[in-house]
Structure 1
Amino acid sequence: MQATDGIVQESPRNRSAVRHPASAEARVAAYDWGGLAASLDAHGCAVLEGLLGAEECTAIADLYDQPDHFRSHIVMARHGFGRGEYRYFDYPLPGLIDGLRTALYPRMAVVANDWNARMNVAERYPDRHAVFLERCHEAGQGRPTPLLLRYREGDFNCLHQDLYGDLAFPIQVAILMSEPGRDFTGGEFVLTEQRPRMQSRVEVVPLRRGDAVAFAVHNRPVQGTKGNYRVNLRHGVSRLRGGLRHTLGIIFHDAR
């Protein structure tokens, strides 16, 4: 495993689809979290290459046509969100998705707590995801938020923020389930950042099947000449030129 510019790279690049599947905790623990935190600080996002194998991606994408796994189905065009569709998983979550959500959270909480301290935000996040979900449920946010998105030719996702209630964890993760250039073309993950008195900065994040991107949901701190200041972020997906694209979204807070 290598770390380049704060982005972890695994060697070989394409892991075998028939490899022995490590537990969610073991595979998450294998990354260079110091490097990933540095990338989140520098760019507002960080890539975890090869978080899922090819067979796992196919199995998760295939769930889309099994409605018993989901609590709701959203057609983006009906709400002005763009074009495409997605489904929110229902509890209990599929085992691997639940395991990844649980294993990723404490690593993200370290970064989130540092960001809040630097932005003078009082909220601090507990070490364990189960404790944070208890806070969400006490605040009336009890609906699960992990989702599976599907895009076809011409589809796109407008720039947005996934907040869902008063309690919102400041980092989320998206995992690409399809292979660019083979399964689809276009459809790049896009992150925009608005700094005070400056034009928006755009980050286009290249991903391959099984790669995950962790990114800021709403705000993050940036060091300026007079200390840290808060910047606002939005994310989306550019227009799909052809094919079929699935993405798994892991959001750590629950919704109202």
Structure 2
Amino acid sequence: MDNIIERLETVDWQLVCSQLNDKGYSQIKGLVTPHDCDVLRNQYGDQQLFRKTITMERYRFGKGEYRYYNYPLPELIHLIRENVYEKLAPAANSWMNVLHIDRQYPASLSDLQSLCRAHNQHEPTVLILNYKQGGFNTLHQDLYGDIFFPFQLVLFLNEPGTDYEGGEFVLTEQVPRAQSKAIVLRPGKGDALIFTTNFRPVKGNHGFYRANMKHGVSEVLNGNRYSLGIIFHDAVT
């Protein structure tokens, strides 16, 4: 496993947080190596690593399949989750402050997990998603309970244009008194995308307001698309 801690330390986190404030998302190029992408993608076949498999059509979430990891998470995933959380917690608290939301997030992931457990949220929410030809994911938000962290991360585990066509990552932002804005992204293998779980603060004429955002995946036209979602809060048992 490549030294992910060193890679994370080279990221311009001030820029990431600025982009999250301005757009609700930030892309980090080449956060994980192609080899680590292959290792993570190949884990999809190891049933012992996962607590649950979801067939998306059954719940009308789209078309495809995803699997939730068990605790303990694989080391690479744990290190990314733990260290990225610590980088983002100050920005999360800034969002709560400007929106006058009575919530402050602890500095460490372990303390966030303690807060989740106090609200009966015990289950890990990290998952691998697999879309074959025709697969897609409807627009949604990953909340899982009363306690949710306002940012999440997706790692893209194979290469668009080579391993699959279509399957773009889609964000929508609700614009007050107007139609929703769509954002279409096509990150490459090894890239990470950090984005809002629920909303972002936008400065208006009378202070900040919440702009609600959702995310999904457009239809995969051919090939097989894999991604890994890292959600920082845990789920209700």
State the match for 1:49 in structure 2. 29
State how 1:106-145 maps to structure 2 within 5 Å.
106-145=86-125
Output the amino acid matched with 2:114: E
State the match for 1:35 in structure 2. 15
State the match for 1:176 in structure 2. 156
Which residue, 193, 196, 199 being the options, matches 1:216? 196
Output the amino acid matched with 2:33: G
TM-score by length of structure 2 reads 0.98
Residue 185 in 1 paired to residue 165 in 2? yes
Secondary structure, counterpart of 2:123 in structure 1: coil
Structure 1 residue 27: Cα displacement: 1.5
Q: Does the Cα contact within 8 Å between 2:160 and 2:186 map onto a contact in 1? A: no
State the match for 1:75 in structure 2. 55
Gaps of 5+ in 1: 1-19
* Structure-1 separation of matches of 2:44 and 2:143: 23
State the match for 1:21 in structure 2. 2
Output the amino acid matched with 1:79: Y
Output the amino acid matched with 1:124: Q
* Structure-1 separation of matches of 2:178 and 2:207: 17
List structure 1 segments (4+ residues) > 4 angstroms apart after TM superposition: none
Secondary structure, counterpart of 2:209 in structure 1: strand
State the match for 2:219 in structure 1. 239
State the match for 2:145 in structure 1. 165
Gaps of 5+ in 2: none
* Structure-2 separation of matches of 1:39 and 1:201: 17
Percent identical pairs in the alignment equals 42
Secondary structure, counterpart of 1:50 in structure 2: coil
Output the amino acid matched with 1:60: L
Let me know the Cα RMSD of the aligned residues.
0.9
Q: Whose relative contact order is higher, 1 or 2, with alpha carbons under 8 Å and at least 6 apart? A: 2
Question: How many residues end up aligned between the 2 structures?
Answer: 236
Which residue, 174, 178, 203 being the options, matches 1:194? 174
| Cα deviation 1:139-188 (Å, max 9, x = unaligned) | 10000000000000000000000000010111000010010111000000
* Structure-2 separation of matches of 1:141 and 1:122: 20
Structure 1 residue 207: Cα displacement: 0.2
State the match for 2:128 in structure 1. 148
